[in-house]
Amino acid sequence: MVTGRQISIGISDLCFGCGENNPCGLKLKFEWDGKQVRAEFTPNKFHQGWVGIIHGGIITTILDEAMGYAAYYEGIKCVTSSMQTRFKRPLSIDEPTIVTASLTKNGRRYVETEAKIATRDGTTIAECTATQYVGSKVNKGDKPKTMSRGA
């Protein structure tokens, strides 16, 4: 049950994280296994901060998007209220990654999520936890869970 003020959260194909029609976006495509979301992403030279190193804001955005998807696939549309990211090591240009996320606590007004981005061999790049404000439930008219929210 959603309590408090309901906020409108609409699906957009221009989302920076997952929007197929955003020419500058990351175009993340998440899969759901019933417990967590998963996506693969390989950063390029346009995602760097320092020479050859991917900007921490890009990494944080990927983690935030994954946690939003974890809540979405659980039937909840949320916006991030707070998040804490812990960087373990730098990410290089053209280094393939896998991001995973799941819902850890389902409350009436807030949910808690966690995410991790790692290299394909499992080396952790960054981990994140977040508290997300519940905006509304996923409606039947929303995109099916088998598709990207931004598709």
CB-based burial label for 126 (10 Å; 0-12, 13-18, 19+): buried
Is 81 among the domain residues?
A: yes
Contact 66, 126 (CB under 8 A): no
Q: Would the pLDDT of 150 be above 60?
A: no
Domain around 76 = 31-137
pLDDT tens per residue, range 7-65: 677 778 899 889 899 999 999 999 999 999 999 999 999 999 999 999 999 999 999 99
Q: Which CATH number belongs to the domain containing residue 92 in this structure?
A: 3.10.129.10
How many angstroms separate the CA atoms of 150 and 37, rounded?
A: 15
Q: Into how many domains does the chain fold? A: 1
Cα torsion 137, 143, 146, 149: sign: negative
Quick one: pLDDT at residue 1? 44
Is 107 among the domain residues?
A: yes
pLDDT tens per residue, range 102-139: 999 999 899 999 999 999 999 999 999 999 999 888 87
Half-sphere exposure of 113 (CA within 13 A, CB side): 36
Q: Would the pLDDT of 145 be above 50?
A: no
Quick one: pLDDT at residue 138? 84
Quick one: pLDDT at residue 147? 43
Is 15 among the domain residues?
A: no
* CA angle (31 as vertex; 123, 83 as ends), nearest 5: 60
pTM tops 0.75, yes or no: yes
Quick one: pLDDT at residue 149? 42
How many angstroms separate the CA atoms of 126 and 119, rounded?
A: 10
Which pLDDT band, with edges at 50, 70 and 90, does 6 fall under?
low
Q: Would the pLDDT of 146 be above 80?
A: no
Quick one: pLDDT at residue 104? 97
Is 74 among the domain residues?
A: yes
